[in-house]
Structure 1
Amino acid sequence: MRRLLFLAHRIPYPPQKGEKIRAWHMLDYLAERWEVDLGCLVDDRADLEYLPVLQSRCAEVQWWETGSRRQSALRALLRFRPGKPLTLGWFHNPSLAAWVEQGLAAGRWDAAFAYSSSMAPYLLRKHGLRRVLDMVDVDSEKWRAYAEGARGVMRPVWAREARTLLGFERQAALDFNQTLLVSPEEAQRFADLAPDCADRLNYVNNGVDLSRFDPDRTYLNPYAGTGPALVFTGTMDYRPNVDAVCWFADTVMPLLAGRSPAPTFHIVGANPAPAVRALASRPGVQVTGAVPDIRPFIAHAAVAVAPLRIARGIQNKVLEAMAMARPVVASPEAYEGVRAVAGQDLLVAASPAEMAARIGAVLEGEHPGIGERARRAVMKGHDWSATLRRLDPILSGEADAKAMALPALAEERA
């Protein structure tokens, strides 16, 4: 069997957050077709208990701890170079680099797969084997959005990161055989920013675990109140999620407060930032912190909301709620990349007034069957078993003969 090197900037298990969900499903799929050697970084010691799962799927697993966030930040500052993004220093590990070099020198692998642009430096200019980079999202665009919304000293810092990271993303895409993104929209965005890379780009849509997020299962109701529950799920120290829930609590919830019974807003996810914890003092807002299982909160919600204003790629929270057959009200940014029809399979709203109106319409029963249509949409467009099949011609090289194929989005969503 062919042997594959798989590099990940974080241990790809458990699949509880966006980057790990995609990494795990890709690794699990490829392990059926290749002997996989996994090299990864570990930033949370609690994840080490899951190493046996990875070892059961891989021929070899090598891992290195990154230390605390402060240590990673210091490492990034010490490796600061003019014109280079700080992100690369954050994820640089000499031991991982040495392990990769030794394996390459021994001809150990037939191909290599780098998950995220942070892993690309370990394989740059290694032309002796086929190399695929899964950039996932255009991360430089995230930093650009941070800069646009920032004040004070962080604005130029984030603007510099956006500029230098885009330069590195372009360099990596030109060097690797193929570079993947999470959706045709995200691939097109990068092609617009780096048109000389367009014929080396491809995409693999995110999927959702349809057997795990199954609306036919029975879940105990975690909500204590009598009013309808609005739910937001996600890691709650992640800046885009923090921004989303604060904006929703500030601008949308006041417009819903006059309803009877008044809806409650439940923020479900680990590591709530101080700004998120502070929302719990407001009437009608509850912050759970980490929960053993998010599915009961989705299953018993009247509406799943995704009011993100800073978003890249495909939002797993949207796919998971749709898979659970719940009505979803999302911002245009959260809707991007989802293979579903707005107004039919989910509702999309930009302004606070529009979002409150869409939520109110669902609560009034104006969209019967939207949850069932949502489930059918993700079954059609986001089944992992179908989306991951695109990896086969990409890793074999069959996809190289074709320019980037970005299908008509209207047709894909129909």
Structure 2
Amino acid sequence: MGDILFLAHRVPYPPDRGDKIRSFHMLRHLAAQRPVHLAAFADDPRDMDRPELADCTASRAIVRRGKSQAVAGIQALASGRPLSLTAFDDWAMRRAVEAVLARENIDTIFVFSSQMAQYLPAEGGQRVIMDFVDMDSAKFAAYAQAAKGPMRWIYAREARLLVAAETAVAARADASLFVSEAEAGLFRRTTGAERVHAIENGIDTGFFDPSARFERVEAGPALIVFTGQMDYRPNVEAVMWFAEDILPQIRVARPDARFAIVGRNPTDAVRALARQEGVIVTGEVNDVRGWLAAAALVVAPLKLARGIQNKVLEAMAMARPVVASAAAAEGVDHNGTIAVAETAGGMMEAVTLLLRDPQNAVELGRDARARVIARYGWDARLAPLDALVGLRARLGEAA
């Protein structure tokens, strides 16, 4: 029985953003049963050395990613390839992957995110598991529909080239994974691909537990919280929409309402929101749980969302009442334990009702945590992965 090579477009630690949460738990799950060799990019200097990964990796090859968007854009136009791929095309990573394949007995390659599929060997005979997570081409197609001028052409080009690349990778892979059945179904319908499976995200309900030990945040009774990576376009659009179109209406009924935008790398546009009455922009925080615990409620007003939103699961696990857009709630099997609103008026009304009725908010949060515990434990969510990677069959053969 051979080892696993795990390719990731970001170092899967710390698990403090959506993609790194999923990749970390995938990596740890696989490493519990077979040796795993990690090859990953670091876009943060702190990720060049993460000793915490030593317990779940047999070896690590980390490559610093420093290519600018301008250079990646020129390469994409010159090569006819998607910008999403040229941005992660790096000779040092190719050499690192080749070295692992030459040195180790690798019989399975687990590819996390489509950007890393370009490092698959032309010939090798290894089992290939491709975790697309979301269908990136569909995201860019949605961007194109909403854009105007040159950006419409750029996004449409990216969507067209990406779907061709995704189709080709899926044809080669032994299994293609997506974070929800909705994403998996969309991929099947769009590409005609077979061997497509949904492996949902989970949540560490021991860590995200309101009774756990963590640094508390002092806040008033009407704190509304949003969490996320704040240079990610859907998150930026979400908080701007909420702060500019929804929060002012809420503050008519609740002048003490405040909106905290919690997450690293806020763009200039997000930082500018802090000049608005009632808006807080924190930037990176050491532990998001303090802000979640302090929240009267958590909002997820995303207009564009793919798959299962970790931010929603985390808030539910922290027993917070959640008001989410239909897009943000779509992939979450919440069984009515979160409030869903389609419009700015609907979101304003849902938030205001919860602020007016703290007891109902507490009960909704309690039900949300119970739902997450029952439905989204990581062990249960990742159990189908074993058969796809061949763990159960091989363990059975060894017995």
Distance 1:394 1:114 in 2: 13
Instruction: Give CA-to-partner distance per residue, 1:185-234, whole Å, 9 cap, x none.
Output: 1101111211x20x31001100111111001235555244x440000001
SS of residue in 2 equivalent to 1:339:
coil
| 1:245-394 matched pairs, under 5 angstroms | 245-341=239-335, 344-365=336-357, 366-367=360-361, 369-394=363-388
Distance 2:104 2:272 in 1: 54
Instruction: Give CA-to-partner distance per residue, 1:347-388, whole Å, 9 cap, x none.
Output: 100101110111112112245511111011111221111111
In the alignment, is the contact (CA less than 8 A) between 2:321 and 2:362 conserved in 1? no
Distance 2:330 2:372 in 1: 14
Give the TM-score taking structure 2 as reference length. 0.93
SS of residue in 1 equivalent to 2:224:
strand
In the alignment, is the contact (CA less than 8 A) between 1:125 and 1:175 conserved in 2? no
Partner of 1:31: 31
Distance 2:391 2:211 in 1: 41
In the alignment, is the contact (CA less than 8 A) between 2:179 and 2:201 conserved in 1? yes
SS of residue in 1 equivalent to 2:217:
coil
How far the C-alpha of 1:103 sits from its partner, in A, is 4.2
Q: 1:156 and 2:153 equivalent?
A: yes
Distance 1:14 1:107 in 2: 26
Instruction: Give CA-to-partner distance per residue, 1:381-404, whole Å, 9 cap, x none.
Output: 2111111111100111889xxxxx
Instruction: Give CA-to-partner distance per residue, 1:107-143, whole Å, 9 cap, x none.
Output: 7201110000011111165451111000000011111
Distance 1:389 1:98 in 2: 33
Cα distance change of structure 1 residues 288 and 103 upon mapping to structure 2, 3 Å threshold: closer
In the alignment, is the contact (CA less than 8 A) between 2:48 and 2:63 conserved in 1? no
Cα distance change of structure 1 residues 103 and 267 upon mapping to structure 2, 3 Å threshold: closer
In the alignment, is the contact (CA less than 8 A) between 1:223 and 1:229 conserved in 2? no
* Range moving further from structure 2, 347-356 or 255-264: 255-264
| 1:98-117 matched pairs, under 5 angstroms | 98-104=95-101, 108-117=105-114
Post-superposition, which runs of at least 4 consecutive aligned residues in structure 1 deviate over 6 A?
A: none
Cα distance change of structure 1 residues 44 and 157 upon mapping to structure 2, 3 Å threshold: same
Which amino acid in structure 1 is aligned with residue 55 of structure 2? S
Distance 1:352 1:386 in 2: 36
Q: 1:211 and 2:206 equivalent?
A: yes
Partner of 1:407: none
> Cα RMSD between the aligned structures?
1.9
In the alignment, is the contact (CA less than 8 A) between 2:15 and 2:24 conserved in 1? yes
Q: What is the total number of aligned residue pairs between the two structures?
A: 391
Instruction: Give CA-to-partner distance per residue, 1:207-262, whole Å, 9 cap, x none.
Output: 111111001235555244x4400000011111111000000111111221112453
Which amino acid in structure 2 is aligned with residue 143 of structure 1? F
Distance 2:351 2:214 in 1: 23
Distance 2:275 2:104 in 1: 59
In the alignment, is the contact (CA less than 8 A) between 1:232 and 1:304 conserved in 2? yes
In the alignment, is the contact (CA less than 8 A) between 1:4 and 1:111 conserved in 2? yes
In the alignment, is the contact (CA less than 8 A) between 2:337 and 2:368 conserved in 1? yes
Cα distance change of structure 1 residues 262 and 13 upon mapping to structure 2, 3 Å threshold: same
* Range moving further from structure 2, 322-331 or 82-91: 82-91
SS of residue in 2 equivalent to 1:291:
coil
Which amino acid in structure 2 is aligned with residue 156 of structure 1? W
Distance 2:79 2:40 in 1: 27
Cα distance change of structure 1 residues 359 and 23 upon mapping to structure 2, 3 Å threshold: same
SS of residue in 2 equivalent to 1:110:
strand
Partner of 1:402: none
SS of residue in 2 equivalent to 1:308:
coil
In the alignment, is the contact (CA less than 8 A) between 2:262 and 2:281 conserved in 1? yes
Give the TM-score taking structure 1 as reference length. 0.90
Cα distance change of structure 1 residues 220 and 40 upon mapping to structure 2, 3 Å threshold: closer
Instruction: Give CA-to-partner distance per residue, 1:298-321, whole Å, 9 cap, x none.
Output: 011011000000111111110000
Distance 1:3 1:218 in 2: 37
